[in-house]
């Protein structure tokens, strides 16, 4: 059986030889399977691509290099890899070895057992406490508002069948969260818990701003709850303002006091109404912005060139 390994790369020159060594060891123990590794160079500025071109193939392990014209992002790179995949099963893993290749045989065993989707579930993470807390909040918030929840602490690391991979790759939306799309398509799925180690080399190129952008894409791209919450919040502020106005008139009729209107209350109402308007406008803007970029119908990524070990 042909299995495609899809690995997005961004300035991973420090780990390429070690990654290939681990993949070679795994492939050598699975002699009944053939592995093609699709490296997607997502705009690296170091010699990552040159190192990939020097990799030695084995009877069970070959490589293909897909170079994008610039950095398009992790999710776009995975999508580019899926479009280039030929295997009956596709396995996504990162190049930093935080996704242990030694789980590949477990994924394939579950795939042969009838599962279309096999995903890794992170039991222990080596990131800083504040970052782990942010991940935990995101997963739980996403599942609270999403029409289709995703498994807690499950990233892209995992296996999908060819039919699932092609479905995801051909979906037209730009706001891509592979784990969310993988959950949405359905089919038979199972999670495999594992301990997530530290990076083998270098530092993560996934900046805080990229993480925030990805989180917003997930929250606004897979749920209509935020815009409904804005509506409910606006209604609540309107009712609070009306209740305060009614209470003021009732006190005037009961006590006959027509004294100076309390400036604190006025300021409070102004801030509440102004805040409600800003929140609602921002949430609507998030959806409109996504519609605008989707309407341009630009490609998700641009491939500069492709190379393979067969032609190298």
Compute how many other C-beta atoms are within 10 angstroms of the C-beta atom of residue 6: 27
196 and 157 in contact (C-beta within 8 Å)?
no
The enclosing domain of 6 has a CATH number of 3.90.550.10
Q: What is the mean pLDDT of the chain?
A: 76
Distances (CA, A) of 298 to 41, 171, 242: 20, 14, 47
Compute how many other C-beta atoms are within 10 angstroms of the C-beta atom of residue 265: 13
Please list, in sequence order, all residues whose beta carbon lies within 8 angstroms of the beta carbon of residue 116, skipping any fewer than 6 positions away: 160, 161, 163, 164, 187, 188, 189
For residue 170, give the H/E element and its range: helix 162-170
Shared-domain flag, residues 217 and 274: no
Domains: count for the chain: 2
pLDDT at 180: 79
Please list, in sequence order, all residues whose beta carbon lies within 8 angstroms of the beta carbon of residue 241, skipping any fewer than 6 positions away: 269, 272, 273
pLDDT at 292: 66
Q: Which residues of the chain have pLDDT under 70?
A: 124-152, 197-232, 234-235, 238-239, 241-242, 244-249, 251-265, 267-269, 271-272, 275, 278, 286, 289-290, 292-296, 311-312
pLDDT at 227: 65
Shared-domain flag, residues 204 and 229: no
283 and 230 in contact (C-beta within 8 Å)?
yes
Shared-domain flag, residues 57 and 101: yes
Shared-domain flag, residues 76 and 165: yes
Q: Which domain holds residue 252?
A: 225-296
What is this structure's pTM? 0.66
Please list, in sequence order, all residues whose beta carbon lies within 8 angstroms of the beta carbon of residue 198, skipping any fewer than 6 positions away: 98, 126
Shared-domain flag, residues 253 and 148: no
DSSP 58: B
pLDDT at 155: 78
Residue 21 CA, chain-centre distance (Å), reads: 27
Q: What is the pLDDT of residues 92-145, one digit of tens each?
A: 998 888 888 888 999 998 999 989 999 888 876 555 565 656 666 666 666 566
Q: Are strands 89-92 and 154-161 parallel, antiparallel or unpaired?
A: antiparallel
Shared-domain flag, residues 196 and 275: no
50 and 244 in contact (C-beta within 8 Å)?
no
Taking alpha carbons only, the member of 30, 42, 35 closest to residue 20 is: 35
Shared-domain flag, residues 107 and 233: no
Shared-domain flag, residues 112 and 257: no
pLDDT at 267: 60
For 246-281, give the DSSP string: HHHHHHHHHH----PPPHHHHHHHHHHHHHHHHHHH
pLDDT at 143: 59
Shared-domain flag, residues 245 and 112: no
Shared-domain flag, residues 179 and 72: yes
Shared-domain flag, residues 104 and 248: no
Shared-domain flag, residues 78 and 27: yes
């Amino acid at each position: 059986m042909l299995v495609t390994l899809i690995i997005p790369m961004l300035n991973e020159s420090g780990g390429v030889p070690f990654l290939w060594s681990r993949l070679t060891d795994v492939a050598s123990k699975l002699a009944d399977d053939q592995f093609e590794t699709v490296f997607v160079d997502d705009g690296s500025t170091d010699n990552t691509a040159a190192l990939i071109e020097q990799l030695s193939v084995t009877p069970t392990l070959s490589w293909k290099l897909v170079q994008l014209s610039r950095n398009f992002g992790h999710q776009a790179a995975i999508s580019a890899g899926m479009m280039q995949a030929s295997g009956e099963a596709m396995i996504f893993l990162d190049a930093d070895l935080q996704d242990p290749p030694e789980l590949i045989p477990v994924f394939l065993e579950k795939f042969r057992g009838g599962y279309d989707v096999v995903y890794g579930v992170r039991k222990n993470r080596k990131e800083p406490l504040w970052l782990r807390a942010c991940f935990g909040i995101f997963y739980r918030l996403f599942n609270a508002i999403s029409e289709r929840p995703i498994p807690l602490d499950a990233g892209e690391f995992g296996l999908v069948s060819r039919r699932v991979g092609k479905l995801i790759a051909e979906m037209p939306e730009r706001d891509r969260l592979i784990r969310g799309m993988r959950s949405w398509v359905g089919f038979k799925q199972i999670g495999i818990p594992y301990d997530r180690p530290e990076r083998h080399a270098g530092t993560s190129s996934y900046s805080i701003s990229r993480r925030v952008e990805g989180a917003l894409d997930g929250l606004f791209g897979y749920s209509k709850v935020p815009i409904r919450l804005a509506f409910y919040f606006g209604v609540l502020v309107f009712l609070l303002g009306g209740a305060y106005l009614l209470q003021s008139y009732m006190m005037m009729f009961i006590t006959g006091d027509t004294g100076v209107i309390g400036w604190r209350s006025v300021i409070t109402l102004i801030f509440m109404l102004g805040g409600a308007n800003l929140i609602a406008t921002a949430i609507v803007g998030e959806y409109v912005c996504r519609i605008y970029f989707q309407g341009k119908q630009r490609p998700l990524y641009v491939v500069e060139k492709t190379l393979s070990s067969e032609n190298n």
